[in-house]
Structure 1
Amino acid sequence: MDSPVYINPSAKDWIYISSESSTESRILEFHQLLPDYNETKLHALPELAAELGLAHVLLKDESNRFGLPAFKILGASWCVYRVVGDALGIDVVYNKPSIEDLGSAATDAGVSIVTATEGNCGRAVSRMAKYLGIPVRVFVPSYMDRQTRNKIRSEGAEVIEVQGSYDDTIPVIRKEAEQEKVLLVLDVGLEGFEDVPKYFVEGYGTMLAESDRQVLEATGGKSATHAIVPCGAGSIAQAVTEHFKGAQRRSKLGPASIIAVEADTAASLKASLQAGRSISIVTKDTIMCGMNCGTLSTLAWPILKDGVHASVVVTDQESHAAVVLLQNKGVMAGPCGAASVAALKRVCAEYRDILGLGTESIAVLYCTEGPRAYTVPFEVQGRDVMMIHE
C-alpha cells in the first residue's frame, strides 16, 4: 500500500533566491486601501501542541478575509489590479492608482474578465471586479453545487457551467480570452501563461507577513520551524514555500520546513514528487473541493519540487474530524483549512523524527477557508454513509 506521506529528499538544504526585489510592503499597502481590510487572527492551540509534543501549534485563520470566507481574495485582488493595469498600460506598482480611477479607466476601455474556479477563487475575482466595476464571467465545473454558484453570482458575476472537472474548464476559458479586451485571470500557471498567476502568489505575501509578526508575538520572539499548507494546484503552497525558504527570511528568522497537504483523491503534488516530474492525475470528488486539482501550476511545480519537505495526503474522514476538532476549540474552519490539522497529526504520529518535530518545534498552520455545508462520508459498522455538515 502506498504511504500517505512522501518525504522529499531534495528540500533539506534548498534556499529560494528571488531575482526580483520584494514588493511585499507595497502589496500590504494596497490591501489596506481596499474596503473591509482586516488582519486575520492567529489562534494558539496549546492543547493540541501538548498532545502532539510540540512547543506551539498556531493556526492562521483565513475564514474572514475582506468579508469573504477564504484567503483567495488576497491573491485575486492584487492580480486583478495588476492585470487591468497591464492591459491599460498603467504601472500600478509604482503609480498606485486608486480603485476608482483604475475602474473608471477600465470601463472606458471596455475590458472584461474571464476566470475559472471551484469556488472561493472565482468569488474573490468577482469581488475585485465588482470593486472596479468590470464585467466578469466565471466558468465552473459541472459538479459545483448550487449554493457555491449563487455566492459567486452574488458578487455580480455571470456563472457558466462546463461539463467535467476544473481541468476541463481551462481550455474553454483560454479560448474565451482570445477575444479582444477579454482578460484572463487565473491562479494556475499554464504553458505560456505564468505572469498572471505570479500576481496571485505575490498577493498572498500579506498573509505571510502578518503571520510572521503574529508568531513572534505569540511565542515571545521565536519564529515558526514548520509551516503546514493545503495544496491544490499549488499557488498558495508556492507562496508559503518561497516565503519560508527565502534567503531574506532565513537570514532573519531561521529555516523552516514546509509540509503540503492534499486530498487523497487529488494528490497531484505527491504523485509528481514521486515521479520526479509534474504529472496530471485523474481526481475524484472530495469535501476538500478547493484542493480537487489534478494538474499542478507550471509556475508552482519548480518551487514545490525543490522546497516542500513532505507531501501528506488526508482522507475526507480525517479532514472532517479536524473540522470538528477545531470547532470544539472555537475555530470555525472548512474542510480545506482543517486539512492542515489532519496532516500535522499524521506526521507527528509517524514522521516526527524525519521532519524534526519535537518539543522545541513551532508549527504554523494555514487554515485557508471558513465553514461551509458539505456532505461527508463516514464509516458506520463497516460501511460508508453520508451526512450533511453545516
Structure 2
Amino acid sequence: MTEWKPPRLAAHIIINRHLSPAEESLESAAPGVVDADGFHRAATEIKAWPGYQPTALRQLDGLAARLKLGRIFYKDESTRFGLGAFKAVGGAYAVLRHLQDKLGGSVTASDLIAGKYRDRTKDITVCTATDGNHGKSVAWGARLFGCRAVIYIHQGVSVGREQAIAAYGADMRRIPDNYDASVRACAADAERNGWQVISDTTWDGYREIPRHVMHGYGVMMDEVLEQLPPREDLTHVFIQAGVGGLPAAVAGYLWLEQDALRPKIVVVEPEKADCHYQSSKAGKPTAVTGKLDTLMAGLACGEVSPLAWTLLDKASFAFMTVPDDAAVFAMKTLAEGIGNDPKVVGGEAGVGGLAGLIAAAIDAEARKALLLDEHSKILIIGSEGATDPVLYAQLVGRKPEEVLAA
C-alpha cells in the first residue's frame, strides 16, 4: 500500500438508546454476567500456565495522526500461547474449570498438565462449535489438561483453520450449514453422548461455562491496564463481535475497574452478520439468517449470546457494521504501518474493531456521532493474527512472516 487511500466504507451506526447511566452499577444493570471474583480467579489461573506471556500493546501513532485522533492502542493477540488468537484465554480456561468441577476436590491445573488424573480425564469429552479460534482453544485446552475434544465447524470455515484445530488432536465434524446450525448440532450430539459443551454463547439452562469463557478474556484487560502509559485514559474501545462474549467481557471488566470513568464501547460487526446491530435496532435479541458469508468468518454469527447481550445492551455506546473491504484495508494498513508504526499481522476477523474505527474516523457524520476528535484515545483488541496464513497472504499480498521480517 504505497498510498494510504481508504476505499468507500459504507459503515452503518446506531447509538444505543439503552445505555446505562454512568452512575449505575454493573450488577444493577446486568446481574450475573461477569464479576470481579471471576475475573480474578481466571487471571490467577491463566498467568500460571506454562508459556504464559503478556501480549504486546502496540501504539499506532502514525495511524492516529492520519485519522486526526489522539492515540490508538492495539492489543496484539497474535502471539497468545502460540495459538495466534485471544480465544486461548477463554475456551481452554473453561475446559479447565469443567474438569476441576468434574473431578472435585482440590485438582489444580498443574496436576492435570502433569497427567496426575489422566486415567479419569481420558474418558471425558468436551465439544464445541466454532468459526475457528474458539475451537482451537478448546482443542488445545483438552490436550493440555488430558481430555478428548470434538469440534464442530460449518461450511464457511477454511480448510486451513480446520487443519490447525485438528493438529491438537481434536475429532473434527463439519456441518453443511452456517455457524448457528453447527451450534445446534454440537448441543444435540453432546446431549446424546454425555459430552460437555464448551461454548462461548448461552441458551436456556446453559450459562456458567460461557461465563468462565468471558472471565478468561479478562486477562487481556488486566494486561492492557498495566501496559497503558501513565495518564492515558481511554475514551473509546472499538471491538468486534461474533456472539458477543469478547465485547461483553471487555465492557464488563472496564465497568468494574473504572466505573463511571469507563470508555465508550463501540461494537463492530460485518454487515453480513450483524446480529448485535439488528438487536439494538429492534430493542431485543434478533437473529440474522442466511449464509452469513462474510470474509470475517470468525465473526459470522447470526444470533447474539443472550447472556452477553444483557450486558452489551446496557454497556455499549454504539453498534456499527462494516463491509468486508474495510477489514482487508485494515489488515493492509497494519501490515504496511503508517509513518513509524510497527508492522503488525492482523487476521480478517481480528481487525474488525480497527476496520470500524477507520470507517468512522474518515466519515464526518460517523465521527461526530461517535464523539471522535483529536483528543480521543482508542483501544483496539487485535483478537487474532494470521490464523489462516494462506488466506492472509491472498488478502494482504504478503505472507505473515514477510510482514514481520520487514
After TM superposition, is the score higher than 0.5? yes
- Correspondence for 2:344 among 315, 331, 336: 331
* Contact 1:4-1:312 at 8 Å conserved across structures: yes
- Decide whether aligned partners of structure 1 residues 21 and 319 sit closer, same or farther in structure 2, where only a CA change above 3 A counts: closer
- Correspondence for 2:173 among 160, 166, 170: 160
Give the C-alpha shift of residue 16 in structure 1. Answer: 4.7
State the secondary structure of the residue aligned to 1:60: strand
Aligned ranges 1:231-380 → 2 under 5 Å: 231-246=241-256, 248-250=257-259, 254-282=261-289, 283-329=291-337, 330-348=343-361, 349=363, 350-371=365-386, 372-373=388-389
- Equivalent position of 2:404 in the other structure: none
- The AA in structure 1 aligned to 2:276 is L
Q: Deviations over 1:254-285 (max 9, x none)?
A: 22100111001100100000000101112421
- Equivalent position of 2:205 in the other structure: 192
Distance 1:60 1:387 in 2: 20
| Unpaired segments ≥5 residues, structure 2 | 1-9, 338-342, 400-406
Q: Deviations over 1:294-329 (max 9, x none)?
A: 001111111111111111111111110110000012
Give the C-alpha shift of residue 119 in structure 1. Answer: 0.6
State the secondary structure of the residue aligned to 1:341: helix
- Equivalent position of 1:74 in the other structure: 89
Structure 1 length-normalised TM: 0.89
- The AA in structure 2 aligned to 1:259 is V
- Correspondence for 1:108 among 101, 115, 120: 120
- The AA in structure 2 aligned to 1:75 is G
Distance 1:320 1:88 in 2: 45
Distance 2:102 2:201 in 1: 19
* Contact 1:41-1:60 at 8 Å conserved across structures: yes
Please say which of residues 295-304 and 100-109 is displaced more in the overlay: 100-109
- Equivalent position of 2:47 in the other structure: 32
- Decide whether aligned partners of structure 1 residues 118 and 99 sit closer, same or farther in structure 2, where only a CA change above 3 A counts: farther
Q: Which has the higher contact order (CA 8 A, sep 6+)?
A: 2
Give the C-alpha shift of residue 33 in structure 1. Answer: 2.0
- Equivalent position of 2:3 in the other structure: none
Distance 2:12 2:119 in 1: 49
Give the C-alpha shift of residue 129 in structure 1. Answer: 0.4
- Decide whether aligned partners of structure 1 residues 101 and 302 sit closer, same or farther in structure 2, where only a CA change above 3 A counts: same
Distance 2:156 2:233 in 1: 41
Give the C-alpha shift of residue 81 in structure 1. Answer: 0.9
Distance 1:28 1:336 in 2: 25
1:4 equivalent to 2:12? Answer yes
Distance 1:322 1:375 in 2: 15
Aligned ranges 1:102-181 → 2 under 5 Å: 104-105=116-117, 107-108=119-120, 110-179=123-192, 181=194
- The AA in structure 2 aligned to 1:235 is G
Number of aligned pairs? 372
How large is the RMSD of aligned CA atoms in angstroms? 2.3
- Equivalent position of 2:4 in the other structure: none
Give the C-alpha shift of residue 360 in structure 1. Answer: 2.2
| Unpaired segments ≥5 residues, structure 1 | 379-385
- Equivalent position of 2:225 in the other structure: 212
Distance 1:196 1:168 in 2: 20
- Equivalent position of 1:383 in the other structure: none
* Contact 2:109-2:145 at 8 Å conserved across structures: no
Distance 1:49 1:26 in 2: 35
Give the C-alpha shift of residue 139 in structure 1. Answer: 1.1
* Contact 1:54-1:362 at 8 Å conserved across structures: yes
- The AA in structure 2 aligned to 1:281 is V
Structure 2 length-normalised TM: 0.85
State the secondary structure of the residue aligned to 2:73: strand
- Decide whether aligned partners of structure 1 residues 63 and 21 sit closer, same or farther in structure 2, where only a CA change above 3 A counts: closer
- Decide whether aligned partners of structure 1 residues 13 and 354 sit closer, same or farther in structure 2, where only a CA change above 3 A counts: farther
- Decide whether aligned partners of structure 1 residues 319 and 180 sit closer, same or farther in structure 2, where only a CA change above 3 A counts: closer
- Correspondence for 1:98 among 83, 88, 110: 110
Distance 1:101 1:90 in 2: 16
Runs of 4+ residues deviating >6 angstroms:
386-389
Give the C-alpha shift of residue 104 in structure 1. Answer: 3.8
Give the C-alpha shift of residue 207 in structure 1. Answer: 0.2
- Equivalent position of 1:227 in the other structure: 237
* Contact 1:12-1:309 at 8 Å conserved across structures: no
* Contact 1:111-1:181 at 8 Å conserved across structures: no
Identity between Structure 1 and Structure 2 (%): 27
Distance 2:231 2:294 in 1: 39
